[in-house]
Structure 1
Amino acid sequence: MTTPSHAAQPTRARRELTAWRNAIFAIFFLSGLSLASWVARLPAIRDDLHLSTQGVGLIILTGSIGSILGLIAAPWLMARIGARHGMSAVLVTVAVGLVFVGVGGSVISSVPLVAAGLVLFGFGNGAVDVMMNVEGAEAERELGKTVMPLMHAFFSFGTVAGAGLAAAASAIALPVWAHLSVISLVLAIAVVVAVRFVPVREELGDDPHDDAPRDPWTVRIKRSLSVWADARLLLIGVVMLGMSFAEGSANDWLALAVVDGHGYDETTGAAMFTVFTIAITGARVLGGRFIDRFGRVAMLRSMSIIGVAGLALFIFASEPWLLIVGTVLWGIGCSLAFPVGMSAAADVPDRADAAARVSAVAMIGYCAFLVGPPLIGFLGEHFGILNAMLVLLGLMALAGLAAPAARERSR
């Protein structure tokens, strides 16, 4: 049995640690809830704005641009105001963005207002993605057991809840603006309550005393950027890049690949995507105990092999049952790399350095989520969607080769 290196002696009471962990669970959930709420109402917004498919793509692009800006700005925000206040600020920004999207999409029919809302929405979600992973890695370290996969599962739970509430809102003909306004209010209130249980920590930029001496924020941001020179950290980024690319591409292209690549109907495509989401969520719920037992490297290598085998079945198999097996293995294979990469990046004695490292690999992983799907779409247009997915095979194999960089460090 492998003892996890993050099993440090807790410095806080168990009750405080549990409250901290649950607060981060809640923030992951809220991020997923916000994302699914907007995406699920996209057809209604498209109809109200009379957008073409290309027009929908362009307004989605504004959200992606906002997300990239949020990822870039997150280290600066943490240096200025800390992760604790930063999470509140950026999730409130997400809430404001959702209100703009709802009003622009269903009240005044303004494409510019929807685009502005999506920039705010993307910025807030991009920034909170980094911050909540930084906090999650710290909470995991003090708890002494692997919980990052479960935290990412809570994001999935949030997307399920958001999609379900959106479906209910659509079924009762609740206007988009009213639905998104309610979700925005829930986001703003819930995050303010949740961060009260996140401890104040100066190493993440939180300032418990206004007159407490600390390094200028410019020094802290330079220290945050210096971690990019660490070769081990970049190899951890390679692990996350490959698997995040595979996961993000599945989210956007799996159902379409079932329809266009394998010739099944749209219902089968949607069902296959559901199988994928169940597989990846289930693996994240159960994965922590296996990581603690067998270690990060063994699990990442196993996940790489499983993912490559599953994707190969998905691409080349023709029988429906093999397609289902391939989809399940694909989901399991790319389920743990992102949360394990976060834990590995934080596995250093200097906690301020750990926060900067987690921020860096989070940026690598989330950029893969954003860049991957458009690249697969471009390749699919020229070579076919299933042939385009061969790129994912290579990236998942590369992630497995880079797995030793995530090895636990003894303290």
Structure 2
Amino acid sequence: MESKRPTPQPADESIPVTTRALPHSFGSAARFAKLLGHHPQLMVNPIPLRFQVRAIIAIFTLLGILFASWVSRLPAIKIELGASTSQVGLLLFGLAAGTIGGLMIARRITHRLGTQRSLAWSILIASTLIILLGLATSWGNIPLVCILLIFYGASLSCTDVTMNVEGARIERDLNRTFLPLLHAFYSLGNVVGAGIGWFVGVQGIGVFAHFVIIALIAIVIIVFAVPDLGSPTAESSPSTVATAQAQTSESRTEHATTIPAGHKTRLRRDYSLWMIALLVMFTAFSEGAGNDWIALAAFEGHALEQADSSLIYATFVGAMMVGRLAGGPLVDLFGRAVALYGLTALGIAGVALFILATEDVYIYVGAGLWGLGVSLGFPLGISAAANHPTESAQRVSMVSVFGYAAMLSGPPLIGFVGQDFGLLGALWSAAGALLVALAFISSVKERRRIREEVTVPSASESN
């Protein structure tokens, strides 16, 4: 009996080419290369969930390393560029502008390319840009560094949005809370990146060579990790991306533009929501100031060595990581408001101690207390804003806009002020922001009653 031959189909380049099934292999370079192609669709064996968990943890940690690598070498970068404090503020403004721009386009890119291809390309571009940043720094070209930082910030924020989308999907597959742990690994990446910055500073390795090493580490990690993130053919729907942006504390700015007009009116009249937004804004201002300026302030204001300045930054982000890991038990034991009152008070004391300290040990203690003080303001504010039965995503988006606006625009302003009053003097604004934040902490406690007070009408009642 003869079998019927399939009718030949005309070649059509618009139809994705499907290849023979590839065996699963964690970190397959061939599979990664296929992802970068125009037609990434492959027939793959199902990827075990434990491999997906391992891969997304690696991506979160890598993003922390990429950000910390730039910040931890800021003193050396300033020297190589011969830049003033206000010019460093301008560089940070370029990084902030690129980050905001990336947040605005990331959702569209993720939907178009899918999470795997988006992560592969955004991290690959960031790895290339950090090498170019090191090269431009060695040339002493401040305008070129500023331009490169715009694109570097955009690539990092695109990575941030996409990894949160993928993290939210894995969290749903695990059927348990997983995203807070991922953000702790991001903070761990900050610590690792700062540690590498300290080591290369001690060894006298230049910024360019350091950034080449970081780029190679990034490429190795994505080649091993990205192919294990779900199915290469799966593209994220708009609802998936929107949900992830609403549930995470790293990437939510672009989603704010999609709030329906009726919801916007109700949100503008929600007094308690405005209080939460202001709490997040002032806390995020202090967090951004520490992230971007603490290493340079230790180097210039306290005359520490470049390597020791990197350790100061590592102390700050390490304390933030500890605060976030301990945040859940603290909130369960004392409640959101009490936990924030205590940590914010520690943060104010930490900023003051860091500025006024005359001995190295107190500078480190101040940096640690500062990091603890700002560790939970943003995530707990987001948690309080989300505590609503019908408008959780819209409320989170509104609060996130306030937080990211302060976190990204605050450091450049500190740079301009520091040009006239000194960098340590300008950092008093970080303590002042936390002091103002104390006035709004009670708003997170009030949100506990929202679910009991707000009832969702049934279908019969709405008709």
TM-score, normalised to structure 1's length? 0.71
Residue in structure 1 matching 2:258, options 225, 229, 254: 225
For 1:200-279, what aligned pairs fall within 5 Å after superposition?
Answer: 200=234, 202-204=236-238, 225-226=258-259, 229=264, 231=267, 237-252=277-292, 266=304, 275-279=315-319
- Pairing 1:392–2:392 present: no
Paired residues for 1:101-116 under 5 Å = 101-106=133-138, 108-116=139-147
2:338 maps to which of 270, 294, 302: 302
Q: CA deviation at 1:42?
A: 3.6
% same residue = 34
Distance 1:273 1:165, change over 3 A: closer
Asked whether the equivalents of residues 87 and 131 of structure 1 are also in contact (C-alpha less than 8 Å), the reply is yes
Query: Which runs of 5 or more structure 2 residues have no equivalent in the other structure?
Result: 1-46, 242-253, 457-463
Matched to 2:135, the amino acid is V
* Cα displacement (A) at 1:121: 0.9
Greater fraction helix: 1
Matching residue of 2:198: 167
The letter of the residue matching 2:103 is: L
Alignment root-mean-square deviation, CA: 4.5
Give 5+ residue unaligned stretches, structure 1: 1-14, 208-220
- Asked whether the equivalents of residues 148 and 340 of structure 1 are also in contact (C-alpha less than 8 Å), the reply is no
Residues 1:254 and 1:39: Cα distance change in structure 2 (over 3 Å): closer
Task: Confirm whether residue 81 of structure 1 aligns to residue 113 of structure 2.
Answer: yes
- 1:373 matched to 2:404: no
**Structure ID, larger Rg:** 2
Q: Distance in 2 between the 1:173 and 1:272 partners?
A: 18
Q: Distance in 2 between matches of 1:390 and 1:310?
A: 13
| Aligned twin of 2:57 | 25
CA distance 1:340–1:310, shift in 2 (3 Å)? closer
Cα distance in 2 for partners of 1:203, 1:345 equals 24
Mapped to 2, the partners of 1:409 and 1:138 lie a distance apart of 25
Task: Give the counterpart letter for 2:437 in structure 1.
Answer: L
CA distance in 2, matches of 1:29, 1:58: 27
When the two structures are aligned, how many residues end up with a matched partner?
375
Instruction: Provide TM-score, normalisation by structure 2.
Output: 0.64
Alignment of 1:55-204 (within 5 A): 55-106=87-138, 108-199=139-230, 200=234, 202-204=236-238
Q: Which amino acid aligns with 1:282?
A: V
Q: In the alignment, is the contact (CA less than 8 A) between 1:62 and 1:119 conserved in 2?
A: yes
Deviation string 1:166-218 (CA, Å, 9 cap, x unpaired) is 333344454433332232233234235423333346435789xxxxxxxxxxx
Distance change (3 Å), C-alpha of 1:168 and 1:66: same
Partner of 1:11: none
Say whether residues 1:36 and 2:61 are aligned partners.
no
SS in structure 2 at match of 1:93: helix
**Cα distance, 1:159 vs structure 2:** 2.0
